[in-house]
Chain A
Amino acid sequence: MKRSALAENVSALVFLSPFIVIFGVFLAWPLFYSFYLSLNKVTALVNVFDNLTFVGFQNFIALFKDGLFGWSLLMTLYYAALIVPLGIGTSLLLAVLLNNKLRLSRLFRTAFFLPYVLDLFVVGIVWTFIYSPHFGVLTRIFETVGITYFSEQGFLGRPATAMPAVVIVNVLKGAGFGMILYLAALQNIPDSVYEAAEVDGASWWQKLTRITIPLLRPVTLFMVIVGVVAALNAFVEVFAMTTGGPSVNVGERAYGATWVTGYYLFDTFYVRLKLGYAAAMSYILLAIAVTVSLINLRLLRPKTDY
């Protein structure tokens, strides 16, 4: 029955080849190709790919001097700073509520999870309508309780509330995802742990903070990553709802209150066709993503085995 090593390798290759070819051409090679593009500049807007000029690291140097890029990183950080705690809080709350052996809990689980599988662009359009000034339903609801702060510009038209409004849409849409993870983790905590704590006279609050939350740590760390990645990839929601605005004046310059790096990247590449500059920008995104992932791996490793 012994098969030669060569035959084994060949048959493995047959199974691997479709995946590996696509992976190579569309996932591995682009990382190198993107680096090449980042060292070039588009010199004519027609036939972009035949009009590239090698400029060395100029794009990267320009990026570091580009105030708008710095601003976009700041907005991305702001996005992450909002979505991480809000996402974790909402998911955990829903999971804790559902972890109560209620008769209808499956129905609620379905309700909370449904938006996660729906199209973010569509969800963005719907919320834009809800957030509208004057007649938007949420604006009206606020008016009925006497808050007219949003009446003139809506939620997305005010620099102070645009970003939180965008993030809340994504939090409500994605909460089901974190909820499922927290729920699975909660159900993995043996009842005996809580029983022992009860014997020791632990309160509801102590059980939550001393047992539940620490044991959910791996999920929480994962959720941090998910939030950071969502911030780095934030584009569709911004495109659907604010197109980077509304404008805020900082000193002499005007910036967009939701001008995240993902949107700037799209604008640079798709609207202004500055491929090289966009490629350089995406390398900065990559560097951030890899750094965050590595930090997470460090944090996740030691404590998982309990």
Chain B
Amino acid sequence: MTGSEKTKRPVQPGRWARTAVLYVVLSAAAIVVLFPFAWMIMTALKQPGTEFDPEFFPKQPTLENLKRVFTEFGFVRYFLNSSIVAVSSALFATLFASLAAYAFAFKNFILKEKVFAVIIASMMVPGLMYVVPQFAIINRLGWMNTYRAMIVPHLANVFGLFLLRQYMTTIPKSLIDAARIDGANDFQVYGRIVVPLALPVVATLFLLTFQFHWSNFLWQLIVTNKESLYTVPVGLSMFKQQHEQLYALKMAASAVSIVPISVIFVFAQRYFIEGVTKGAIKE
């Protein structure tokens, strides 16, 4: 506002008023969007039995609910499971997508275009379509109630392949050729040139897959029925069914379950935003 804008438009008299109105509207929108989370946290800090008090701030704030989530219920285990599933899924999905993207971006092989088209076309399939047959396959493989079942079916990330291939095709061919002349093989080109150059996109994909698997609910619910394997959302759903009335505890459990993603988001926001803008419309 302080004259940093190019002098393309004359300074309007209503400028300050307009800015003020914008801030009021934006703040109102932010309150609407974020209020549920604030309410959740405030409720989590209320004494059990006083969850429905109309005050926003708890009269006698307590950390007891948060403590009970970890001490009396299995959330430590659920966090561990979610971490194992989300980290390994993100790691392998990113690795596999980047390897395949390298092949599609820099290699020549038979049926390349056709294979790519088929893979991309699969993005049209609604996710729910896969639930029944994947469940059947997991059963046939005898993988029920294993980490494998939670992780392996999602390791072919088509969106990630698309994202990475798009990016890799912008890497100058001359760089690759120069390395080849110096005697580098494919793995060296991949590991020392392509991946380092594509690192922002690789990071984006890692974070997006981590976030997806941290929140993946339906699939983890279906392939596990042992409490020791519950992930955070599944544990939360069981908790919700068994303790319908314990609102403060439920809100405390909800609040802690979104902490990891929120923290990651605050520090790595730009990767999430890039993932959205790069992935959506690219022609």
Contacts and interface: CB of A to CB of B under 8 A. Distances in A.
A129 B251 contact: yes
A184 B281 CA distance: 10
Contacts of A93: 29
Given A23-B156, A180-B273, A118 B132 contact: no
Chain A, interface size: which category?
35 or more
Interface centre among B37, B126, B250 (most CB of A within 10 A): B126
B176 to A, nearest CB: 12
A250 interface: no
Contacts of A5: 108
Given A15-B190, A117-B272, A26 B137 contact: yes
Interface string A1-36: 100010011011111101110110111111101100
B117 interface: no
B172 interface: no
B41 to A, nearest CB: 10
A175 B33 contact: yes
Contact of B107 (A11, A34, A126): A11
A161 interface: no
B30 A108 contact: yes
B153 interface: yes
A255 interface: no
Interface in B200-222: 211, 214-215, 217-218, 221-222
A249 interface: no
Given A15-B99, A19-B96, A195-B8, A111 B126 contact: no
A289 interface: yes
A14 B155 CA distance: 16
Interface stretch (A67-75, A81-89, A96-104, A152-160): A96-104
A117 B33 CA distance: 13
A122 B125 contact: no
A191 interface: yes
A241 to B, nearest CB: 11
B19 A122 contact: no
A31 to B, nearest CB: 7
Given A1-B180, A16-B103, A119-B214, A98 B129 contact: no
A133 B261 CA distance: 31
A19 B100 contact: yes
Interface in B219-256: 221-222, 232-233, 236-237, 240, 247, 250-251, 254
Given A8-B109, A140-B54, A34 B23 contact: no
Interface of B: 1, 5, 8, 19, 22-23, 25-26, 29-30, 32-34, 36-37, 39-40, 43, 52, 54, 92, 95-97, 99-100, 102-103, 107-110, 112, 115, 118-119, 122, 124-137, 139-140, 152-156, 158, 161, 180-181, 186, 190, 211, 214-215, 217-218, 221-222, 232-233, 236-237, 240, 247, 250-251, 254, 257-258, 261-262, 265-266, 269, 272-273, 276-277, 280-281, 283
22 contacts: A8-B108, A9-B110, A15-B107, A18-B96, A18-B155, A27-B122, A30-B134, A33-B133, A33-B136, A34-B133, A49-B136, A102-B26, A113-B269, A117-B262, A119-B214, A119-B257, A121-B233, A125-B236, A232-B128, A235-B128, A239-B237, A270-B221
Interface of A: 1, 5, 8-9, 11-16, 18-20, 22-23, 25-31, 33-34, 37, 48-49, 93-94, 97-98, 100-104, 108, 110-115, 117-123, 125-127, 129-130, 132, 134-135, 137, 140, 172, 175-177, 180-181, 184, 191, 195, 218-219, 222, 229, 232-233, 235-236, 239-240, 262, 265-266, 269-270, 275, 278-279, 282-283, 285-286, 289-290, 293, 304
Given A19-B156, A26-B156, A229-B126, 12 more contacts: A16-B99, A22-B96, A30-B129, A37-B133, A97-B25, A102-B1, A104-B26, A118-B37, A119-B215, A125-B240, A236-B217, A279-B132
- Counting from the closest, the 6 A-B pairs by CB-CB distance are A30-B133, A135-B52, A19-B100, A12-B109, A22-B156, A119-B215
